Amino acid sequence: MAFHTYPVLLPKVDPLMALCDELEAGLVQAQTDGGKLMEAVVHHVLAS
């Protein structure tokens, strides 16, 4: 990558990294929620 493109690209890095962090947090939350849902389903089935 040519050095002259850095001033154009660098300002875009922070918003992209923030988006990646937000997406990662969403994935972690989805995994947590999925695990809780699975536990609830198993508990319900075994209690029936």
Tell me: the pLDDT tens digits for 7-42?
999 999 999 999 999 999 999 999 999 999 999 999
Per the confidence metrics, is the pTM higher than 0.75?
A: no
Is the pLDDT reported for residue 5 higher than 70?
Answer: yes
Question: Using CA atoms, how far apart are residues 24 and 27, in angstroms rounded to an integer?
Answer: 5
> What confidence category does residue 3 fall into, taking pLDDT thresholds of 50, 70 and 90?
confident
Q: What does the block give as tokens for 14?
A: 């922070």
The pLDDT of residue 40 is 98
Question: Using CA atoms, how far apart are residues 19 and 25, in angstroms rounded to an integer?
Answer: 10
The pLDDT of residue 48 is 84
Per the listing, tokens 């075994």 go with 46
Q: Amino acid identity, residue 24?
A: E
The pLDDT of residue 26 is 99
